[in-house]
Amino acid sequence: MEILIYVYLFIVGACFGSFYNVVGLRITEGKSIVRPGSCCPKCGHEIKGWELIPIFSYFLLGGKCRMCKTRISTKYMIFELVTALLFVYSYLMLGLSMELIVALLVVSLFVIISVSDLEYMIIEDIILVIFLVLLVMSRLFIDLPPNFTTFSLHPILESLIGGIFGFGLLYWIGFIGQIVYNKEVMGGGDIKLYGILGIVLGFKLTLLSLFLASLLGSFVGLVFIKTKVIKKDTPVPFGPFICLASLISYFYGPELISWYFNLLV
Ligand SMILES: [Zn+2]
């Protein structure tokens, strides 16, 4: 029975992942997410029926357009696969619980953001607003898990503090950066995103997520510069690092923090 839930979540995740590709790209391009249907960018062949099955179609078609044989980018398939795996992983970590709803929403937000941030280095406001509403509503009914809390206050207050802290801290970093470097060091999308994350994660896990995101971002950036994948002054989208760091924080944050404090004593 259990295996059926995993299979189901994998398929649902792959389908949502396919939809999130469309949302992440088309909203940023200012296009409708329903019309026209997907078509080959080269020959305009309209992709229909069995060619639209997430993940599998990519392999069935051998990664090429059926008509003109132009290579299809692997990134769509990778995002479908990542969404499917994260849906399954969320269930593995949380089981059939109310918190699973929050986890699936967070995963969805992260996939859409990563798609548009990697392609266009933009996180669209409309996407953030939709998920702000959805996640605020969920945190009103689904309490912040007890091990996420910091101040032993009511869960809703803990979420509120997290949200204000996340938004405020990044806004402050951006403000100081603007004065010191006289340029935008923090994208507006990243600042708003941390406001939403604060509500989901609470104070301490938001702080952990920011720490991990900076660590991951600088590490990967440094490796890319050293291996000459990018130049020293190439801007790197920060969104995907925030997403990865926040997932680690969400699933393992309380353990990581208690492990760290055990090292100190
Ligand atoms: Zn084609």
Q: What spacing in Å lies between the alpha carbon of 25 and ligand 1's midpoint?
A: 19
Contact 231, 194 (CB under 8 A): no
pLDDT at 253: 97
pLDDT at 36: 81
Q: What spacing in Å lies between the alpha carbon of 52 and ligand 1's midpoint?
A: 14
% of the chain beyond a pLDDT of 90: 81
Amino acid code (one letter) for 24: G
**What average pLDDT is seen over the chain?**
94
Determine the Cα–Cα distance for residues 152 and 137; give it in Å rounded to an integer. Answer: 21
Q: Is the dihedral of CA 198, 200, 205, 209 positive or negative?
A: negative
Domain locations in the chain as residue ranges:
1-96, 122-265
What is the separation of C-alpha 201 from the centre of its chain, rounded to a whole number of angstroms?
Answer: 14
Higher pLDDT, 127 or 183: 127
Q: What spacing in Å lies between the alpha carbon of 63 and ligand 1's midpoint?
A: 11
Q: What spacing in Å lies between the alpha carbon of 66 and ligand 1's midpoint?
A: 7
Amino acid code (one letter) for 15: C
Burial class (CB in 10 A: 0-12, 13-18, 19+), 159: buried
Mean pLDDT of 81-107: 97
Q: What spacing in Å lies between the alpha carbon of 38 and ligand 1's midpoint?
A: 11
Q: What spacing in Å lies between the alpha carbon of 67 and ligand 1's midpoint?
A: 5
Q: What is the pLDDT of residues 153-205, one digit of tens each?
A: 999 999 999 999 999 999 999 999 999 988 888 888 999 999 999 999 999 99
Residue 78 has pLDDT above 90, yes or no: yes
**pTM reported for the whole predicted model:** 0.94
Residue 231 has pLDDT above 90, yes or no: no
Q: Which of 37-46, 104-113, 158-167, 215-224 has the lowest mean pLDDT?
A: 37-46
Residue 35 has pLDDT above 90, yes or no: no
pLDDT at 40: 87
Determine the Cα–Cα distance for residues 86 and 195; give it in Å rounded to an integer. Answer: 22
Q: What spacing in Å lies between the alpha carbon of 78 and ligand 1's midpoint?
A: 20
pLDDT at 100: 98
pLDDT at 226: 92
**Residue 30 phi, psi dihedral angles, 5° rounding:** 75, 25
Longest dimension (CA), the chain: 65
Q: What spacing in Å lies between the alpha carbon of 42 and ligand 1's midpoint?
A: 5
Contact 96, 26 (CB under 8 A): no
Q: What spacing in Å lies between the alpha carbon of 26 and ligand 1's midpoint?
A: 19
* C-alpha distances in Å from residue 254, one per residue of 49, 126, 202, 208, 258: 45, 31, 11, 10, 6
Residue 206 has pLDDT above 90, yes or no: yes
Q: What spacing in Å lies between the alpha carbon of 119 and ligand 1's midpoint?
A: 21
pLDDT at 41: 82
Residue 246 has pLDDT above 90, yes or no: yes
Mean pLDDT of 137-159: 96
Mean pLDDT of 48-57: 89
Mean pLDDT of 204-231: 93
Q: What spacing in Å lies between the alpha carbon of 62 and ligand 1's midpoint?
A: 13
CA-closest candidate to residue 58, choices 39, 43, 78: 78
Contact 152, 130 (CB under 8 A): no
Structure tokens at 72: 């299809």
